[in-house]
Amino acid sequence: MRFALKVADKENARVALVCKTTLEEANTFFAQGGVSSVTNLLVDSFEKHIDDTMIAGDYLSDISAVEKVVREAPSQINELVGWGVAFDKNDSGEYDLHREGGHSEFRILHHKDNTGAEIQESLIRAIKRHPNIEVYENHFAIEILTQHHLGVKVTRQTPDIECYGAYILDQKSGRIDTFLSKITLMATGGVGAVYQTTTNPIVATGDGIAMVYRAKGTVKDMEFVQFHPTALFNPGDRPSFLITEAMRGYGGILRTRDGKEFMQKYDPRLSLAPRDIVARAIDNEMKNRGEDHVCLDVTHKDPEETQKHFPNIYAKCLSLGIDITKDYIPVAPAAHYLCGGIQVDLNGLSSIDRLYAVGECSCTGLHGGNRLASNSLIEAVVYADAAAKHSIARVDSLEFCEKIPVWNDEGTRSPEEMVLINQSIKEVGQIMSTYVGIVRSDLRLKRAWQRLDTIYEETESLFQRSVVSREICELRNIVNTGYLIMRQALERKESRGLHYTIDYPAVKKHTMEKV
């Protein structure tokens, strides 16, 4: 939405914003914690934020991307405020800054415990007012258009692959239209729905990543899947309700079900250690004790303050009979955020020309092996700005590709298709959670490969003979995305960041002395 609003201001611009459900249904809406940015220069600095990001990313982050995001963050915060985003302030009129795991200072701007929703709703209001933006809700992108659709053989070695738009399925009519564009932007979010348990909305099926991979674009760092340590444990919820990391920054303490603290066994930063460390610690405690969750304790905090800072969490838990001012919150890790994705440069441009990617589907290099808390929203707005500026500067020199053929919609539909699709989606989730989860091994990953390969063959066969539907396309994307996570995990012969394998134990190095 940020990109659309910026490019739509160009004279004679026409922007199509395609959503597979609605504008509201996105990972952004569920981002509770906030946005990281250096705003208090009396105690904080760009250098501290850069160091924190590099440490959390296990020194796999691209320093150019880190510096870009950190240094441009304050100006982007000002733009968001100008567009109507209301970050919380204290009684002195200054930003009420939080601190989250891995951050050395209080630098998280927030709007209560629903920051993402506040940002998203402000942008939606602006989108709906803009005369040059047409929103297509309940439309599903099937494939991006490249030279391949002109009959040209395209491989990953082809130096000049270009994107000309996408085939788009109108889910209400079933019609597949050809959307031609001079510039295309992917903002398709994450991959959480590839796993059994996730904090992501179920629309997060890796669509953009899978489309770019099939179009022979470069996809990178897919092995780095962040499991949020503290999703509310409530069996049957999909997605899982997120208990924000800000609650640990607020003073929440992780305990086993019998009330014992345990983080002191794993990291001197205790409950404020980076997410990968906390998630593995919880996973280990659960396995050692044979239990399905641990607990987060804020009962020692002021009840009124807790309700004020976390109204949505308080209300959700209360609806389940849990008063967080008096009771422990049951929590367990869940698939949460993908650090990898479509590889892009500092302008947000992918390896396929005329195709940009921003947000969670992109791999800018900012996160490296592990995302620092609340760095993702600011990354999205910084790179949306960069992609918009780069696009505006070149769009007039580009032409539409008018030779793209219409979609070949031959195929049939049988009653058993949905049964097969739903069962396959469940199987992929089970495979990924069992074999490609928080702790991995070569044996587990190879087993995942074998099982995914069978589902892949069945899915492609079904796709070729069926009438195209959102369901078969999502299954196809889930299988492709699961394969990429598994394959790139197998290729990394070390434990690093979010990728932890028992075959290559982590080497203690370069982290704690810098904290």
Q: Which residues are catalytic?
A: 275
Is the distance from CB of 333 to CB of 282 less than 8 angstroms?
A: yes
Cis before 239 (ω within 30):
yes
Tokens 């009962």 locate to 299
Provide the token pair at 96. Answer: 């009420």
**One-character DSSP codes across 308-371:** HH-HHHHHHHHHTT--TTTSPEEEEEEEEEES-EEEB-TTSBBSSBTEEE-GGGEE-SSSTTSP
Sign of the CA dihedral with 41 first, then 113, 265, and 55 last: negative
Q: Tell me the C-alpha distance between 275 and 372, whole Å.
A: 8
Write the CA distances from 330 to 247, 252, 323, integer angstroms.
13, 12, 11
Residue pair 243/348 in contact (Cβ under 8 Å)? The answer is: no
Residues 6 or more apart whose Cβ sits within 8 Å of residue 93:
none
Q: Which of 32, 31, 52 is nearest to 371 (CA)?
A: 52
Residue among 320, 315, 200, 324 nearest 251 (CA): 324
Q: Which two tokens stand for residue 34?
A: 């906030």
Distances (CA, A) of 253 to 106, 243, 294, 495: 18, 13, 11, 27
- Of 495, 480, 478, 484, residue with least CA distance to 442: 495
- Length of the chain measured in residues: 515
> In whole angstroms, what is the distance from residue 226 CA to residue 56 CA?
12
Q: Can you name the residues that pair with 170 across neighbouring β-strands? A: 139
Q: Which residue has the tokens 């092995």?
A: 223
- Chain-centroid distance of CA 358 in Å reads 10
Tokens coding 344: 């892009």
Burial 447-476 (b: 16+ CB within 10 A, else e): bbbebbeebbeebeebbeebebbbbbbbbb
Q: Which residues, 6 or more positions from 141, have their beta carbon under 8 angstroms from its beta carbon?
A: 18, 20, 166, 167, 168, 169, 188, 207, 208, 211
